[in-house]
Structure 1
């Protein structure tokens, strides 16, 4: 039996900024936040972007900061997305119970892992997600019954492709119902394919892998996204991707201060 997904949902909720812009083909912009602070989350949310990825994989983010950041971001009309640290069922449940508008799961290698993620992120009958938290509905600006009726088709499930095995299995991964968006982690992908050099980004093997990922996403009707380093790269990415994440808070802070101090000392 076919079920509505984030791609086909007819649910209208103005709070779901990232989903709404993806569906409208408006190339939403995101960034990563790794610093555990409600104020940091608010400051970034007021920059005009559409989604903030709370980085619970590599960032200094615990459960308390995860919950507080989701509340702060969603209250300001921006979509909070949680990059979880792994595909375990309890981690996915915990992340979604914050009220996040989506999850991003790193280093997915095959279709079986993708299927397990989808099952953990959806309530029955599509999945096995349990219900018991009052917080998800707050993050979506609706009642708990409304959330229960709509979450399976409005929460955006993002799968990260960052390994050679993930590239080899990308067609099967993209074919999994309930996977909404394929997100390329270029740094880890390049490291997996080439070893740490560091990569320039123009190596034939790396570029071929990118092409293969995007082609599979398009074939199976999935959105495609990636991380980029700056606005110019994001603008260029509009030709091939549906969304991008432009660097993160830690890099952004350094990228402003370092050249300014250099000028001041010149």
Structure 2
């Protein structure tokens, strides 16, 4: 099985950068890789991506030297099994509010003795080329489980959720958290920032690395001062749109045309 380079970097507390990927085309992954990102989170929650596309996106991430993770749409045995059998090296679980959600995901994501993931000799196990007992051990060492905390209840239960030994790191979800707090899309609202601070403290208490979705350079600097080193810099669609918009406006203004 491929070495999870993201896991190694996080263990060294090395700054790492990732993007959500919602456009289901391998060229997008290639471009992100050439831009020297460390990981991608292929999105099954908000994007119209099918499982065949997931496998192609995972393969592109491997070729680009990035760690491929998948944000699943729900904690469900077959979906978790399929994305890992495609070669994803971890799952991101949206809307985690109870420790039981992590427990169920772990049961489906890991082989015995950590879980009961269904045995298979597909592409992560090189189609049975090597002894599968060794693959099982390696898979349990390489796969990551990442809960997203994005509600008031999730914040309230965060210490319990993050105390699970198989939690690799935690990702904040300020957007949905803002809605849960009654201030939708106001991610800089004091209530949202206080809740994120509580999540950060729970992560420190549980010795779980904290990941932020960096939404501004100022926010990036703030979290860097706190010692955070895992950053998700938005998604591919938003990043591309902003670049297209900026270039059109810059050139239009330079020519006095807009």
TM-score by length of 2: 0.90
Q: Which residue of 1 is the match for residue 97 of structure 2?
A: 109
CA contact (8 A) 2:39 2:67 kept: yes
1:92 aligns with 2:80: yes
Q: Which residue of 2 is the match for residue 221 of structure 1?
A: 207
1:211 aligns with 2:211: no
Partner residue of 2:120 out of 125, 132, 139: 132
- The alpha-carbon deviation at position 237 of structure 1 amounts to 2.3
1:48 aligns with 2:36: yes
CA contact (8 A) 2:175 2:187 kept: no
Do the aligned partners of residues 223 and 27 (structure 1) sit closer, same or farther apart at CA in structure 2, a change above 3 Å counting? same
Unaligned stretches of 5+ residues in structure 1: 1-12
Unaligned stretches of 5+ residues in structure 2: 254-258
Tell me, in whole angstroms, the C-alpha distance in 1 between the residues paired with 2:187 and 2:153.
21
Q: Which residue of 1 is the match for residue 246 of structure 2?
A: 259
Partner residue of 1:238 out of 215, 220, 224: 224
Which runs of 4 or more aligned residues in structure 1 lie more than 4 Å from their structure 2 counterparts after TM superposition? Answer: 142-145
Q: Which residue of 2 is the match for residue 9 of structure 1?
A: none
Q: Which residue of 2 is the match for residue 119 of structure 1?
A: 107
CA contact (8 A) 2:150 2:173 kept: yes
Tell me, in whole angstroms, the C-alpha distance in 2 between the residues paired with 1:231 and 1:70.
29
Tell me, in whole angstroms, the C-alpha distance in 2 between the residues paired with 1:200 and 1:125.
40
Q: Which residue of 2 is the match for residue 155 of structure 1?
A: 143
Q: Which residue of 2 is the match for residue 58 of structure 1?
A: 46
Tell me, in whole angstroms, the C-alpha distance in 1 between the residues paired with 2:195 and 2:131.
43
Secondary structure of the corresponding residue to residue 160 of structure 2: helix
Secondary structure of the corresponding residue to residue 238 of structure 1: helix
1:36 aligns with 2:24: yes
- The alpha-carbon deviation at position 75 of structure 1 amounts to 2.0
Secondary structure of the corresponding residue to residue 244 of structure 1: strand
Tell me, in whole angstroms, the C-alpha distance in 2 between the residues paired with 1:151 and 1:90.
17
- The alpha-carbon deviation at position 187 of structure 1 amounts to 0.6
Do the aligned partners of residues 201 and 232 (structure 1) sit closer, same or farther apart at CA in structure 2, a change above 3 Å counting? closer
- The alpha-carbon deviation at position 80 of structure 1 amounts to 0.5
Query: How many residues align structurally?
Result: 251
Partner residue of 1:249 out of 228, 231, 236: 236
- The alpha-carbon deviation at position 191 of structure 1 amounts to 1.2
Tell me, in whole angstroms, the C-alpha distance in 2 between the residues paired with 1:14 and 1:242.
23
Larger Rg over CA atoms = 2
TM-score by length of 1: 0.87
- The alpha-carbon deviation at position 102 of structure 1 amounts to 1.1
Secondary structure of the corresponding residue to residue 181 of structure 2: helix
Secondary structure of the corresponding residue to residue 108 of structure 1: coil
Tell me, in whole angstroms, the C-alpha distance in 1 between the residues paired with 2:217 and 2:37.
12
- The alpha-carbon deviation at position 199 of structure 1 amounts to 0.4
CA contact (8 A) 1:230 1:247 kept: no
| CA distances 1:156-195 after superposition (whole Å, capped 9, x unpaired) | 1100001111111111101112111111011111111124
- The alpha-carbon deviation at position 145 of structure 1 amounts to 4.4
Q: Which residue of 2 is the match for residue 10 of structure 1?
A: none
Q: Which residue of 2 is the match for residue 5 of structure 1?
A: none
Tell me, in whole angstroms, the C-alpha distance in 2 between the residues paired with 1:143 and 1:40.
34
1:193 aligns with 2:181: yes
| CA distances 1:191-229 after superposition (whole Å, capped 9, x unpaired) | 111242x305132x2122111111111111211102123
| CA distances 1:130-151 after superposition (whole Å, capped 9, x unpaired) | 1214112359xx8754331121
